[in-house]
Amino acid sequence: MEKEGSKEIYQNNSVKITVDKEWCKACGICLEFCPQKVLAADEGGKPYPVNLSACTRCGLCELRCPDFAITVEGVEGKKDV
């Protein structure tokens, strides 16, 4: 996991999930909506991926987050391993 200011970045060979810990209000919506159960809550209730390889990049977490605190991007030019 990398940090960029208040953002925490989780990445594998196909997906990059960025959580802005400052913007996140720990509402838990992204956890509830993730169909793959990729996300879990940390001790502060904020999401982090426990199962990043299961992420299908469906974008629901990003779409449902009321605070624009989570983003999902594909990692270009790389393939799943």
- Binding of residue 10 to ligand SF4 (CB under 6 A): no
Q: Alpha-carbon dihedral of residues 1, 18, 47, 35, nearest 10 degrees?
A: -110
Pick out residues in 35-74 that bind ligand SF4 (CB under 6 A): 36, 38-39, 46-47, 55-61, 65, 67, 69-70, 72
Residue 5 Rama label (left phi>0; alpha psi -120 to 50; beta): left
Using CB under 6 A, count the residues that bind ligand SF4: 27
Give the H/E segment covering residue 32.
Answer: helix 29-33
Chain-centroid distance of CA 35 in Å reads 13
Q: Which stretch binds ligand SF4 (CB under 6 A): 4-12, 28-36, 73-81?
A: 28-36
| Interface residue list for ligand SF4 (CB under 6 A) | 19, 24-30, 33-34, 36, 38-39, 46-47, 55-61, 65, 67, 69-70, 72
